[in-house]
Each structure stands twice: as structure tokens, then as C-alpha cells.
A = this chain, B = another copy of it.
Amino acid sequence: MEPVNVGIIGLGNVGLGTLEILWENWEQNTQKLGFPLWLRAICSRTLEGKALPAGMERVIRTTDWREVVTNPEIDIVCELVGGTGVAREIIEAAIANGKSVVTANKELMALHGPEIWRKAAQANVNLAMEASVAGGIPIHTVLREGISGDRLSALFGILNGTSNFILTEIEKRGADFGEVLAEAQRLGYAEADPTADIDGFDARSKLAILVALMFGKSVAPSEIYTEGIRRITPFDFEYARQLGYTIRLLCGARRTPEGLLLSVRPALLPRSTILAGVSGAYNAIWVLGDYGQDTFYYGRGAGPKPTGVAVVSDLMRVAREIRAGSHERVSPFAHAALEPTHPLPLDSMKTAYYLRFRVKDRPGIIASLSRVLADKGISLDAVLQVPCDTKDNLPFVITVEPSEESAIREAMAAMATLEFMVEPPLALPMEKGL
């Protein structure tokens, strides 16, 4: 039977993983599809020195992506360059040339996905992006089709493997953030510029994509409340443990009658919840629906091969659409149309909080902190202090009853100015309901 032909542009880690799976596993793919899915062209700026599988003589090699997107033999262009610059040019040129597109590009899809999809739909070609969120976990497929009959109400996810790896290492070894980050960089788990991962920007792009899939709403990633993990210390894990919790960078999306509450921030999770058990570079997603209630998805969040599986599975899906002559059966964002929206401010959300302080010890500290909390109408729940011999920089914790976010923020700002504070206090939500 007539093959469907693929051109891969971009041979970084994910590109090489995709290429290897496509090349090695062609026999099984053919058995599943009923027709061959061929790798027809590869493109990279630096083809020299790439370790490619043997026997690829008939595959076109080029350093110019235009040769791929204009090649009439190519049916699907697989964009694995990343970023929002040339990647966008590649995808739009491919669409303009009547090619379907498979991409792993979360940043581009979170920022411009709806526009790009509109162009694809107009050109009667397909767009697929399973690999853009949570590597080896097929969460797009699940939300787009698997549980499409549910009315979803919330999602909680661990969507950044690098920060989860760092948090897990701080927890396991009691090492400081800086030390663990340096090691993660040495091991290749974190990039030289780690900002996107540890400050939550990578996770918020992924959350924006999942929100589109869940609710049919497009949200600008920059409008999602985002806080990173730089301030988490071994002390925080010790206090969390005493409270029966652990700490993870949690992505949350909640539907309310007024709109969507979205956040990416470190949070305390009860040890008993299945999300708390997610360690190292794994990702996990917990989805709540009005009918199906809770489902949970877990797997490797990154890596050439797990992400390559997502890309190849997309290629197979798009190849089937092409063979069936059906170009736009299911929108990549699950809904037939996306509606732009702004997330609600978190101000009136009520959450229990863990407040961690570092102070110069002297009498009356608890009294003055309690006064600030009382002024803002916040009820104190517990005061914890682990033994520590530095009177100059003493960490301790206050937990408070569910309180409005705005009150918590005002209290934190007022407390930050107290003269015994060594650094501004840290506030982490306690997700008791998970």
C-alpha cells in the first residue's frame, strides 16, 4: 500500500529519539496502520557528526528546512526545532504547502496555537502536538478523545520534570537548592539557563495548552499566576513532613461559575495523595470530571524516547487521517472552536497556608506575627519549630486556616517589613483537598 511520508526538521534529543523509533519500529507501525509510515527526509543545521541509524541512504538529508516543507513527496512535516522563531516559519510554510504538521513545541503552541490551528483548518491539513505536554504521558489523546464525554472541573499536575527532580533531591538529601541545581545542570537534567524550568514558565505553557484542551478556552500563558521553586529549602521539606505533607511545583486549573482559577506554584501536598508520590523527573496529571470523577496519568515527563513515542503516535494518527481522507476530524484543542478568556484573579480563592519565616530570634515574635494575621482576619492553625542552633536566622512555620489569597498577600507584605525578619516570609498553599 501507498506509504505516508514524513520529514523531520530538527535533530536535537527529541528529533533523534523520534527518528530512532520511526526507523527501528517501522514493522510494528505498518502492522498497526495497515500501510507504511516512511521517514523520507531529515533536516538539521548540523547534520555532520549526528549518529544516525545504518541503512538510511535513501532518506533525504538537508540543512535547509525549505527543502522539506516544499518537497511534494512529504505528507507530514515534523517540527522539532523548538522556540517561537523559525519553528513558526517552518510550521506555517508547511501548512501553506498543504502538509500536515506534528510538533512538540509547547511554547509556540501555548502562545500561538489557536492561530496556527486556524490556518491548518483552512488549508485542510492536520496539526498534532501530543509531545508538547508531559512527554510520555498521552494526556492530549486522553483529553481530546479518551474522556471527551466528561465535563471537566479541575486538573492538578506536575508538569516540569526538572523542577520535580530538584525538589525531590532537596527532600531526599537535605541539600540546598543551589547545590542541587548545579548538580542537575552537570547531569544534563537542567539547562545552563534554568529559568524556564525552575521559575515555572515551562510548566505554565503546558498548563495553558491543557486548559485549552479541557475547557475550550485560550488563555495567554503570561496571565497565569506563576511562582517558581528557588526559595524552597530543606527546612521546608522537614516542616512539611511533620505536617504530613510534601512539596511539589503544582499546576492547578479549577473551573468555577465565575471563570477559571489557574496557578503554577510550589504547594504542600498531603503525603497520602497519589500526586505526592511523584518523584524525580516524572510528570503526573490528576483530572477531575463531573461524571467520571478522578482519573490520574503518570509517566516520564521528558527524554528523547518517551517524547519520541508521543511524536510517533501523533505521526501515526495524522497518517491515518491522511489515508482516510479526513483532515480535521478532531481539533488539536479538543473543541471545535476556542474562546479567548482571562483567568480570574486568585484573590478571593480560599486556601489553607503554610507560612515560613526566617527571623532574628527575640521575645515577642509570635505575638507580633499573630497580630498581623488577626488584623487581616486570618486564623492561626499551628506553630512549628524544628531544633536549630542559629538564633540569627531561625526558621519556623505558622500554618493558617483557609483564608482568602488577598488577605494572605497583605499579611505577607506587612510581615516582610517587621524588623526581626531576615528575609521576606514564604507562603505556600496547603492543598488539603487533594
Contacts and interface: CB of A to CB of B under 8 A. Distances in A.
Contacts of A146: 130, 138, 140-142, 146, 313
Contacts of A312: 148-150
A298 interface: yes
Contacts of A298: 274, 295-298
Interface string A270-305: 000010010000000000010111111111100001
Contacts of A32: 148, 216, 334-336
Interface residues of A, number: 60
A310 B32 CA distance: 23
A147 interface: yes
Contact of A145 (B136, B216, B317): B317
A137 B324 CA distance: 27
A153 to B, nearest CB: 12
Given A29-B149, A312-B149, A320-B329, A306 B277 contact: no
A326 interface: yes
A300 B293 contact: yes
A330 interface: yes
A256 interface: no
A306 B293 CA distance: 7
Interface in A137-168: 137-138, 140-142, 145-151
A292 B309 contact: yes
Given A138-B146, A145-B141, A147-B136, A291 B309 contact: yes
Interface of A: 17, 21, 25, 28-29, 31-34, 130, 136-138, 140-142, 145-151, 216, 274, 277, 289, 291-300, 305-306, 308-317, 320-321, 324-326, 329-330, 334-337
User: What 5 pairs across the A-B complex have the smallest Cβ distances?
Assistant: A138-B146, A149-B312, A34-B336, A141-B146, A295-B299
